[in-house]
C-alpha cells in the first residue's frame, strides 16, 4: 500500500467537528494578537497552550493564519487564474506537488484565512516519490492545458533528497504536455521566487515577497480532487 503523504492517524480526533469549532475560535484569537504586533510563534504558543492543542493543531493554526494586512497584500498581488495564459509560470515545485499529493492521499489540507490551501506534511529536507506523485503531475498538466499555459518553469531545492528523481519525473510528464517546460535545481527556491512575478506557490514567505502569484493549488484541488479533506477555520 502506497504511503499517504502528510497523513497522521490522530487527525480524525484533532480535526473532528468539535475540534474544528475550537480551532475556529483559536484562529480568531491568534489573528487578533497578530494584528497587534505579536510574533506568530508567540501568539500560536500562547493560544495553543490555553486550549491544550497538539503540535499538529498548532501547526495548522500557524499555516492558516495571517494578519489582516498580510491577507490584503496577498489578495492584491494574486493574479486571476485566467491570466495564466499570458506568460511563463514560475513554480515552487516541491510546494505545489506536495500539496496536491497530500490532497490525493486524503490527508489534511488547511484552507487559510488568506484563501490559500496548505498541507501539514512538512518537507524538512527529505522527500521521496510516492504513488500520488504521478497523479499530482497529471493533474498539474491537465490544469496547464485547460488554462492554456504557454510555458512553465519548475524550481526544485537541490539539497532536498530525491530532488534529482523528481526533476526527471516532471520532465517525463512534461513530454506529454503541449508546451515547453523547464526544471531547474537551485540551492534555495524561496530566494529565487521571492523576486519574481507569475509565481505559483502557497508558501507565505514567497507570496508575501514576490511581485505577483497564482493560487493554482487551490484551483487544482477544487476542480479535480472532489474527495479532498479540506479543513477551514473560517
Q: pLDDT means per 10 residues in the chain (234 residues)?
A: 81 97 98 97 98 97 95 96 97 97 96 95 83 97 98 96 97 97 97 97 96 98 97 90
Q: Decide if 52 is inside a domain.
A: yes
Same domain, 112 and 227: yes
The size of the chain, in residues, is 234
Q: Buried b vs exposed e over 115-142: b needs ≥16 C-beta within 10 Å?
A: ebbbbbbeeeeebeebebbebbbebbbe
Whether pTM > 0.85 for this model: the answer is yes
Same domain, 53 and 149: no
At 229 the three-state DSSP class reads strand
Same domain, 51 and 140: no
Find, among 232, 183, 229, 204, the residue nearest to 73 by Cα: 204
DSSP state of 78: B
CA–CA dist 163, 167 (Å, integer): 6
- The reported pLDDT for the residue numbered 126 is 83
- H/E stretch holding 156 reads strand 152-157
Domain that includes residue 41, residue range: 10-65
- For residue 33, count other CB atoms closer than 10 A to its CB: 18
CA–CA dist 140, 183 (Å, integer): 14
The domain total for the chain is 2
pLDDT tens readout for residues 157-205: 999 999 999 999 999 999 999 999 999 999 999 999 999 999 999 999 9
- The reported pLDDT for the residue numbered 7 is 87
Alpha-carbon torsion angle 73, 70, 233, 118, nearest 10: 80
CATH no. for residue 148? 3.40.50
Same domain, 37 and 108: no
Same domain, 186 and 88: yes
DSSP state of 166: H
Amino acid at each position: 500500500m502506497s504511503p499517504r503523504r502528510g497523513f497522521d492517524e490522530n487527525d480524525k480526533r484533532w480535526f473532528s467537528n468539535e475540534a474544528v469549532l475550537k480551532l475556529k475560535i483559536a484562529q480568531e484569537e491568534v489573528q487578533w494578537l497578530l494584528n497587534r504586533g505579536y510574533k506568530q510563534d508567540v501568539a500560536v504558543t500562547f493560544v495553543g497552550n490555553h486550549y491544550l492543542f497538539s503540535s499538529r493543531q498548532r501547526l495548522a493554526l500557524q499555516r492558516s493564519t495571517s494578519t489582516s494586512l498580510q491577507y490584503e497584500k496577498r489578495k492584491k498581488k494574486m493574479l486571476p487564474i485566467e491570466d495564466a495564459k499570458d506568460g511563463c509560470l514560475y513554480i515552487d515545485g516541491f510546494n505545489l506537488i506536495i500539496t496536491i499529493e497530500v490532497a490525493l492521499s486524503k490527508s489534511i489540507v488547511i484552507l487559510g484565512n488568506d484563501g490559500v490551501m496548505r498541507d501539514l506534511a512538512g518537507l524538512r529536507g527529505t522527500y521521496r516519490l510516492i504513488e500520488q506523485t504521478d497523479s499530482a503531475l497529471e493533474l498539474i498538466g491537465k490544469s496547464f492545458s485547460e488554462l492554456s499555459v504557454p510555458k512553465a518553469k519548475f524550481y526544485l531545492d537541490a539539497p532536498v533528497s530525491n530532488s534529482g528523481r523528481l526533476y526527471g519525473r516532471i520532465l517525463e510528464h512534461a513530454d506529454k504536455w503541449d508546451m515547453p517546460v523547464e526544471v531547474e535545481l537551485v540551492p534555495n527556491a524561496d530566494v529565487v521566487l521571492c523576486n519574481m512575478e507569475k509565481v505559483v506557490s502557497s508558501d507565505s514567505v514567497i507570496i508575501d515577497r514576490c511581485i505577483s502569484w497564482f493560487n493554482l493549488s487551490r484551483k487544482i484541488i477544487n476542480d479535480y480532487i472532489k474527495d479532498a479533506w479540506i479543513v477551514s477555520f473560517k
